[in-house]
Amino acid sequence: MIYALISDLIVTAPQQRTGASEKPFTLLQVSTTDRTSTSHYCTVIAFDHQKHDDLPQLSKVNGVALAGALLVTTATYDHDDTR
């Protein structure tokens, strides 16, 4: 398991949703850069009750620092655009 700290700006306003298990979660995206100045967009899913309640109070362009388990994945979009 990778434990990570991500800090930078929120690029999508936090959205509260309910999963198939009927449990609430919050979804948002954070833009950040690594030490080589490469930009990354990180999708954050918060299941913790306190974070689920606190995150929607933030808005786009607020700074945020998040720590937790990290799952690294890629997505393939139209025309084999892998990110």
Q: What is the pTM of this model?
A: 0.66
- Rounded to whole angstroms, the Cα distance separating 72 from 63 reads 22
What is the number of H-type helices and E-type strands within the chain?
A: 1, 6
**Under DSSP, is residue 56 helix (H, G, I), strand (E, B) or coil?**
helix
Domain 2-82: CATH class, spelled out: mainly beta
CB-CB contact of 26 with 15 (8 Å): yes
Model confidence pLDDT, tens digit, residues 17-72 = 888 998 888 888 888 888 888 888 888 888 776 655 677 677 777 788 878 887 77
What's the residue count for the chain? Answer: 83
